Structure 1
Amino acid sequence: MIKYSDIDPRIKGFIFELDNVLFPEKEYLYQVYYLFASFLEYTELLNAKVLVNLMVQAYEKEGANAVFNTLQEHFKLDEKYRFNFEHLHTAAQIPLKIMLYPHMLTLLQDIVVDRKQIFILTNGNPLQQLNKIKHTDWQGLEKYLTCYFAEEVAPKPEPDIVHLLLDKHHLQRRETLMLGVTDTDRFCAESCGIDYIAL
């Protein structure tokens, strides 16, 4: 696990993705599934526990994009419910705060103490990603975060949003570090000429 002491002290700006970098994506999605299952239990008299289990299994086997289709096929759900499912992803008031990975919380705290800049640069639906940010327990770090939604310019690995960030915050490429878990982030960093650490 990466520690702040392992990072070049000349770095002034740290760029993070959200999902599976700062916290597990499933911490958000499973709560959305719970809320959707509760909704279907009320409207269609289906068993919420069975629904949640099926959605979680679909997510773990095939990914988030397969969840509604799996549910629809299994229970012959009306297509109208897709809107409710997708709307929950962007606007759900989830019951539990999303917790940061402990080692990432420590890293963020160390960056703040050293007065360096923290950027969240995330792909995906901006409304959904913003909802995740709102429901994360940042432990007081939220005032030190600057957030960018790549979809509003061009999704990563396209470098446009990173160039914008560097220019706006007067950062040199050599002073900036991207940390991530996907090839998308790695390719983005490479195309921008900034260092990358795979977590």
Structure 2
Amino acid sequence: MDAYQLAKDKQVVIFELDDVIFPEKDYLLQVYYLFAQFIEYAEQKNAQTILEFMRVEYESNGTDHLFEKTATEFDLAETYQYNFDLLHQNARLPLKLLLFKNILEFMQELVIDRKKIYIVTAGNPEQQLNKIKQTEWNGLEKYLTVFFADELGQPKSEIFLNILSNNNLSSNEALVVGANKFDEEQSKLINLPYIVSLEIYR
């Protein structure tokens, strides 16, 4: 789908963060790496073995109960859950998060065309902010306005409406870029055009 053509008559483009602007796994796997290193230091257990277990489990079954599974596999105390959770919120990543190439090029074009760019992201606000701070934005950061849905306690559709209202726009003057059915449904609730991030190309 030609998002560039679709965005031509839009004034605002709204993005989610995870798996839209960058791969969520690029963040999570670095968090798991840091946790494995911490456990190696605290418990003298092999970090590489722990990391490999976590990577395979995550790629096979997602994030659900990942700490519990890892704790069972390596006989870790439940108290390490605190460290695991804290790392998700404030980890200093070894490597910066990189934007998907197609999204970087699309966002750069939006800036050139003087479109407003918003990020409306769900999930733990501290964690999402930590990701944003450690992303290589290539100068785009000064053009971004960010809303944390969980912090505001509002459904995304309501935040989308507020963005339209604050800019005196109708729904056909904005575009939502997402990666899942939830984002699509929230957009459709208020008749906002929606596109899947992976479909964007030049």
User: Aligned equivalents of 2:175 and 2:85: distance in 1?
Assistant: 33
Per the alignment, residue 65 of structure 2 pairs with 66
Aligned-residue identity in percent = 43
Equivalent residue, structure 2, for 1:131: 130
Q: Secondary structure in 1 aligned to 2:65?
A: helix
For the 8 Å contact 2:3–2:195, the answer to whether it is kept is no
**Shift of residue 166 of structure 1?**
2.0
Across the two proteins, how many residue pairs are aligned to each other? 197
* 8 A contact 1:58–1:66 mirrored in 2: no
1:22 partnered with 2:21: yes
Distance 1:115 1:69 in 2: 47
**Aligned twin of 2:179:** 181
Aligned equivalents of 2:52 and 2:68: distance in 1? 15
Question: Matches of 2:68 and 2:165 in 1, distance apart?
Answer: 42
Match of 1:150 in 2: 149
Query: TM (normalized to structure 1)?
Result: 0.94
CA distance in 2, matches of 1:179, 1:63: 23
Residues 36 and 155 from structure 1, CA distance in 2 versus in 1: closer, same or farther, beyond 3 angstroms? farther
Establish whether residue 170 from structure 1 lines up as the match of residue 168 from structure 2: yes
Alignment partner, residue 103 of structure 2: 104
Q: Give the RMSD, CA atoms, in angstroms.
A: 1.4
Partner of 1:43, secondary structure, is helix
Q: Distance in 1 between matches of 2:196 and 2:96?
A: 26
Q: Which has the higher contact order (CA 8 A, sep 6+)?
A: 2
Is the Cα–Cα contact under 8 Å of residues 154 and 161 in structure 1 kept in the other structure? no
Whole-angstrom CA distance in 2 between matches of 1:130 and 1:24: 15
CA distance in 2, matches of 1:159, 1:29: 27
Distance 1:151 1:168 in 2: 20
**Counterpart of 2:40?**
41
The aligned residue for residue 9 of structure 1 is 8
Q: Say if 1:89 and 1:2 are closer, same or farther in 2 by CA, change over 3 A.
A: farther
1: CA distance, partners of 2:137 / 2:7? 25
- Residue 3 of structure 1 and its aligned partner are, at CA, apart by 4.5
Note the C-alpha offset of 1:9: 1.6
The structural deviation recorded for 1:138 is 0.2
- What is the letter of the counterpart of residue 171 of structure 1? L
SS at match of 2:177: strand
Gaps of 5+ in 1: none
Deviations 1:59-114 (A, max 9, x none): 11111223212101111211111010000001011111000011110000000000
Partner of 2:93: 94
Q: Distance in 2 between matches of 1:184 and 1:117?
A: 23
Judging changes above 3 Å, is the alpha-carbon distance between structure 1 residues 149 and 15 closer, same or farther for their aligned structure 2 residues? same
**Contact kept in structure 1, 2:7 and 2:175, CA below 8 Å:** no
CA distance in 2 between counterparts of 1:155 and 1:41 reads 41
TM-score, length-normalised on structure 2? 0.93
- Aligned residues of 1:154 and 1:160 also touching (Cα < 8 A): no
- Return 5+ residue gaps in structure 2 as ranges: 198-202
Cα distance change, pair 155–54 in 1 and its aligned pair in 2 (3 A): farther
Deviation at 1:165, TM superposition (A): 2.1
What is the one-letter code of the residue matched to 1:186? E
> Deviation per CA, 1:124-148, whole angstroms, max 9, x where unpaired?
0010000000000000000000001
